[in-house]
């Protein structure tokens, strides 16, 4: 039995002569939520669609629950749940009819009313899909994806366009599934959601994975930040040399530093400021966030382009 619920090694996906995914490894353990992040056009949706079995890989090996998602799609389908970026509902059907229809082609493990209540759509059961709000449609999408209590759930930007209450409800449902042992592969542009929900993550750019690991590993590999207003009348050359500082810039009177050891560098800086009676206006010091890491990846691409 494969150790991973999703196991892609050297995955390549091409549209004609254009290679959108250029040899990525993506190994997701059973029961974890793995976040696949990246800039626009990085290749996330292409990779996920290949794992879902919607397209054939052009290279590498791909297994989902030990099966080839493209060749074994019919066997895999009842065991997976898929929430695409854009749904293709028939607008004239009601919410209840849509679930009924979907129930006939999937293997529902939940009652239809239960799943509507779960997604706070119970009161909309008799409403035509075309009359639903954007957020309600996304919740209906999720209702269909989880009707069968999937072993593997693919979520492609599930909360885009949702209000905070709907986002909260979505994550409650996903947490419930994780508690039941579902494996989740998530793509999102909301980094704080990945930060909260993901066990491990990858950041893609231009078809390759540039950063991957647990959140702690990814953050530890990136420097912390210190920023403050350059004291009045002082030149940047008068600032103390900090032992773990790797970068120092003055942006219109605001000093920004990168540090590989925040506590040590901050101690030296504050000691220096106290001895010199210097005020470090709007002082800010923080460990790298996922957003910082993401911007560094995006900046690298921009610089290389
Ligand atoms: N059907 C297609 N034919 C040709 N090229 C495509 C097709 N679909 C996507 N691409 C290209 O493949 C690359 C990857 O696209 P993809 O949608 O997988 O990226 P993404 O990371 O999901 O982006 P986003 O975050 O904007 O949704 C892009 O350069 C895109 O223009």
Q: Which fold has domain 6-219?
A: Rossmann fold (3.40.50)
Which of 78-87, 170-179, 194-203, 261-270 bottoms out in mean pLDDT, i.e. has the lowest? 78-87
Judge if the beta carbon of residue 38 lies within 6 A of ligand 1: yes
DSSP 3-state of 90: coil
For the CA of 85, the closest atom of ligand 1 is: 27
Q: How far apart are CA 80 and CA 141, in angstroms?
A: 14
Top pLDDT among 183 and 301 is at 183
Beta-bridged to residue 36, according to DSSP, are 187, 202
If you take atom 12 of ligand 1, which residue's CA is the nearest one?
20
For the CA of 39, the closest atom of ligand 1 is: 25
- The count of other CB atoms within 10 Å of the CB of residue 196 is 12
pLDDT per position as a tens digit, 151-198: 999 999 999 888 898 899 899 999 999 999 999 999 999 999 999 999
ipTM, interface predicted TM-score of the complex: 0.97
Judge if the beta carbon of residue 170 lies within 6 A of ligand 1: no
- Which DSSP state fits 128? B
| Among 139, 181, 132, residue whose Cα is nearest residue 158 | 139
Judge if the beta carbon of residue 223 lies within 6 A of ligand 1: no
Helix/strand/coil percentages in the chain, nearest 5 = 35, 30, 35
Considering the entire predicted model, what is its pTM?
0.85
Three-state SS across 41-89? CCCHHHHHHHHCCCCCCCEEEEEECCECCCCCHHHHHHHEEEECCCCCC
pLDDT of residue 227: 96
- Rounded to the nearest angstrom, the distance between the alpha carbon of 13 and the centre of ligand 1 is 11
Judge if the beta carbon of residue 21 lies within 6 A of ligand 1: no
- Rounded to the nearest angstrom, the distance between the alpha carbon of 20 and the centre of ligand 1 is 7
pLDDT per position as a tens digit, 20-60: 999 999 999 999 999 999 989 999 999 999 999 999 999 99
Q: How far apart are CA 171 and CA 141, in angstroms?
A: 14
303: pLDDT confidence band, cut at 50, 70 and 90?
low
- Domain spans of the chain, in order of start: 6-219, 223-287
What's the CA dihedral at 81, 86, 88, 91 to 10 degrees?
A: 120
- Rounded to the nearest angstrom, the distance between the alpha carbon of 120 and the centre of ligand 1 is 32
Top pLDDT among 150 and 115 is at 150
């Amino acid at each position: 039995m494969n150790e991973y619920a999703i196991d892609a090694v050297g995955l390549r996906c091409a549209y004609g002569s254009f290679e959108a995914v250029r040899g990525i490894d993506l190994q997701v353990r059973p029961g974890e939520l793995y976040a696949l992040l990246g800039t626009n056009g990085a290749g996330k949706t292409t990779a996920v669609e290949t794992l879902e079995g919607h397209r054939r890989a052009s290279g590498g090996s791909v297994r989902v629950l030990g099966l080839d998602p493209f060749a074994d799609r019919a066997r895999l389908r009842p065991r997976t749940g898929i929430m695409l970026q854009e749904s293709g509902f028939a607008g004239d059907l009601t919410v209840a009819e849509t679930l009924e229809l979907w129930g006939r082609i999937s293997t529902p493990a939940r009652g239809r009313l239960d799943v509507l209540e779960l997604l706070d759509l119970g009161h909309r059961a008799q409403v035509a899909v075309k009359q639903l709000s954007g957020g309600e449609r996304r919740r209906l999408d999720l209702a269909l994806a989880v009707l069968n209590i999937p072993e593997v759930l693919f979520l492609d930007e599930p909360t885009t366009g949702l209000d905070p209450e709907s986002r909260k409800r979505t994550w409650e449902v996903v947490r419930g599934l994780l508690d039941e042992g579902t494996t989740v592969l998530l793509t999102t542009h909301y980094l704080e959601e990945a930060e909260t929900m993901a066990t491990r993550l990858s950041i893609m750019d231009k078809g390759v994975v540039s950063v991957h690991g647990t959140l702690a590993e990814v953050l530890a590999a990136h420097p912390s930040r210190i920023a403050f207003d350059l004291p009045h009348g002082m030149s940047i050359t008068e600032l103390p040399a900090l032992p773990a500082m790797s970068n120092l810039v003055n942006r219109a009177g605001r000093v920004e530093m990168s540090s590989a050891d925040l506590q040590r560098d901050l101690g030296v800086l504050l000691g220096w400021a106290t001895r010199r009676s210097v005020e470090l206006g709007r002082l800010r010091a923080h460990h790298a966030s996922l957003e910082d890491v993401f911007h560094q990846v995006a900046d690298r691409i921009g610089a290389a382009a």
